[in-house]
Amino acid sequence: MITVTSAAGGVGRLLVRQLASWGVPIRAVVKNDDQARTTRRDGATEVVVGDLRAPQTLDTALAGTTVLYHAAPTQIIDERPIIDHLIASGPSHGLQHIVFHSVIHPELHQLTHHRQKDIAEGMLLDSAIPTTVLRPSHYMQNYLEVWDLLHAGVMPYPVSPDSVMGVVDVADVAEVAATIALDPAPHTGRTYDLSTVELTRHQMAAIWSTVLGHRVTAFRIPPSSLRHRTAALPALGPILVEAVRATGMHSASHLVRGVGAAANPRGMNDWPHDAREAYRTMMSHYDRYGLPAGDLTVLPALLGREPTSYEDFARRSASERGHRSKDSRG
């Protein structure tokens, strides 16, 4: 049995689907009944509904599990109690290997999320449980949070368009995770950077322009707007003007939907204060310094092919959302 925590998340869903397609028994751990229905449709054999911070949830998830893919939700700041319980209880439940979902550059200890991942990595690698660590870069999919705004010709985000970001396709991360979970022994004790390419958001917007067939312009929203929404107001005028220039009145409905979605990105309004503040601090750091990619040679070696390019990701995403993209490649 392979158990997947955060099975309704971006990587988790694709991981469950991949393992299910191979006929592997999967126990999915999710936080509510809606997510339970989703993961069953994705192919989960068993479902555990609960809070990962509750020992009973973890014990139920671990029972009879040989391999655990563990990814904690972003809103859980301190993973140490979870990792402590996995190390203490996992072997008695039959756990033989943990694939741990970390983050690129966990050494950035000024960022709470990165520091906590670094702590968790050390705890697991020092434990008696064989462990593999995956360190994915910033997800390409993160910018789909502003999908309607892309349709309107604008790409706002709380990070400077000039900042260089290492990015990776979630689907590639899930493919690597599935391959390792199915045969973890060769990967014991290994730590893998999962990065595809480095791009500024100006470069990403140029790719979206090609794919969507109209100009897309990247805009910076002050990271402070994640704490005080009024901080975003000065940027709204230029964004509206550019949307009208790029797509005319066709932008109106997309702008309305996009602004509505931007009012609660990732459901952050329901996160505890410390999680929201940690996310704001992380965006502030990326805004100023970017987030370099890790070792770009690792992901192709693990996949046995070239990773998904940003343009291929954009074309696939547009197609999945019903947009017939222009193909400039003939």
189 Ramachandran zone, left/alpha/beta (phi>0; psi -120 to 50): left
Structural class in CATH, domain 2-136: alpha beta
Confidence (pLDDT) at 159: 93
Q: Can you tell me the mean pLDDT for 17-23?
A: 96
Report the distance separating Cα 144 and Cα 1, nearest Å. Answer: 33
The CATH homologous superfamily to which domain 138-168+195-292+306-330 belongs is UDP-galactose 4-epimerase, domain 1 (3.90.25.10)
Residues pairing with 220 in the sheet: 157
Taking only the tens place, the pLDDT of each residue in 46-62 is 999 999 999 999 999 99
pLDDT category at 328 given cuts 50, 70, 90 is very low
Q: Concatenated DSSP letters for 275-316?
A: HHHHHHHHHHHHHHH-B----TTHHHHHHTSPPPPHHHHHHH
40-44: long-range contacts at Cβ-Cβ below 8 A with a sequence spacing of 24 or more?
42/7, 42/13, 42/16, 42/17, 43/16, 43/17, 43/19, 44/4, 44/7, 44/16, 44/20
pLDDT category at 258 given cuts 50, 70, 90 is low
Q: Can you tell me the mean pLDDT for 251-257?
A: 71
Q: Can you tell me the mean pLDDT for 301-330?
A: 84
Please say if the pLDDT value at position 330 is more than 80. no
Report the distance separating Cα 42 and Cα 19, nearest Å. Answer: 10
Positive or negative CA dihedral for 176, 182, 185, 186?
Answer: negative
- The amino acid present at 257, given as its one-letter code, is R
Confidence (pLDDT) at 265: 67
In the block, residue with structure tokens 């704490």 = 227
The boundaries of every CATH 3.40.50.720 domain in the chain are 2-136
> Whole-prediction pTM value?
0.91
Confidence (pLDDT) at 32: 95
The boundaries of every CATH 3.90.25.10 domain in the chain are 138-168+195-292+306-330
Confidence (pLDDT) at 223: 82
Confidence (pLDDT) at 81: 96
Taking only the tens place, the pLDDT of each residue in 87-143 is 999 999 999 999 999 999 999 999 999 999 999 999 999 999 999 999 999 999 998
